Amino acid sequence: MDEETRADAIHRLKSIAGHVNGIVRMLEEERYCIDVIKQIQAAQTALARVSESILDSHLRTCVTTAIQGDDPAERERMLKEVVEVFRYQDK
C-alpha cells in the first residue's frame, strides 16, 4: 500500500472510531432508534469507502506486480485472495 493511501485510511478510521463512540453515546442517552440506525449506516458506509480505497491500492500495487511477475503460483494466490474478499463481503 502506498503511503498516501495508508495515511488517508488511518485518518478516516480514526474519524470513524469517533463516530462509533458518538453512536455509543446516543444509545446511552436513549436517543431515537431511527437516528441511531442512520448513524450506524453512515459509519458502515464510511468503513466501506476505506475498504474500497485499500482494495484499489492493493490491486494497483501487489496484484499488478504479481500478474506481471513470472511466478504463476503467486498470480493464482493473489487472484484467489481478491475473489475471497468479495465472497465474504456481505456475510
pLDDT given at position 86: 84
pLDDT at 89 over 80: no
CA dist., res. 32 & res. 38, Å (int): 10
Number of domains into which the chain is organized: 1
pTM: 0.84
Mean pLDDT computed over every residue of the chain: 93
Digit-coded pLDDT (tens) for 30-73:
999 999 999 999 999 999 999 999 999 999 999 999 889 999 99
How crowded is residue 45: how many other Cβ atoms within 10 Å of its Cβ?
A: 10
Domain that holds residue 79: 3-87
Average pLDDT over residues 2-24: 97
Find the CATH number of the domain harbouring 7. 1.20.58.1000
CA dist., res. 13 & res. 58, Å (int): 18
